[in-house]
Amino acid sequence: MKFAEPFEYRQVNAGGITINVAHAGSGRPLLLLHGYPQNHLMWHKVALELAGEFHVICCDLRGYGDSDKPDSDSEHLAYSKRQMAVDMVAVMGAFGHEQFSVVGHDRGARVAHRLCLDFPDRVDRACVMDIAPTLHMFEHTDQNFATGYYHWFFLIQPDGLPEHMIGLDPDYYLREKLRRWSAPGAEFDPGAVADYIRCFSAPETIHASCEDYRAAATVDLDHDRADRDAGRKVVCPLLVLWGKKGFVNRTYDVLSVWRDYGSNVQGKALECGHFLPEEAPEPVIDELRRFMTA
């Protein structure tokens, strides 16, 4: 499955690795970043509508989809959110966009958060979907969090353990993630799901996605603590959206938490589970239009 016209596909060199990109439109630049265990197609219900007003650029993050899966090291630096943010700046620069807005869901939201911190002159507005900040979540770990987000602790295990176990049946694993994290009765486009499975079934994708989570539990926390110690926050307007029927809503006072990490935060819960762009596309489109054109 691919995005329909007018979207075009392009392989962008982002400092030595290739990022898979679908883009359309000619308005203000708007970068859309997917989450785990998906790829850029998770925006298929949202991107076409927004392309009438924005230059919409949907990327597969490094390690996911049809983007490159570079080798990592013992410090997992290749999959730090800082490196992923550098990738996205390079992609946007390849399209001639020195300043842009960014919307991220799940892992993509964590990349968007890092973009705002490391490149405040490049990001004019940002939206994060269905996350609390990584540092806050790890520092407030309890049995409830460890149960609901067991995958955070499973995927970081060393020596290929999660890679081997997921690799035995990646189709089942991915479909179960979609089912368990969405609201009861949620339906996903079969073509999109088939493409998620196509990409995620590759051993190199499974490994890269584990490296993403290993980085989140190590080097990303170092970067986040350094920002906190220095008093750095997100300074651009930040929209936070989350699913009313999901774990984040049940567990956190979402806006209160994010106001510790950003100076200009607004947001709300939508009637859905974790996968906002697929479960509640029309409210997502409405909220993004309102926020991005305010």
Q: Which residues belong to the active site?
A: 106, 274
Give every CB contact of residue 120 below 8 A, 6+ residues apart in sequence. 235, 236
| CA 142 vs CA 93, 146, 181, 204: distances in Å | 41, 6, 19, 32
Supply the DSSP symbol for 274: S
Give every CB contact of residue 36 below 8 A, 6+ residues apart in sequence. 64, 106, 107, 177, 209, 212
CA–CA dist 44, 25 (Å, integer): 15
52 touches 22 (CB < 8 A): no
| CA 32 vs CA 15, 67, 165, 168: distances in Å | 20, 15, 30, 31
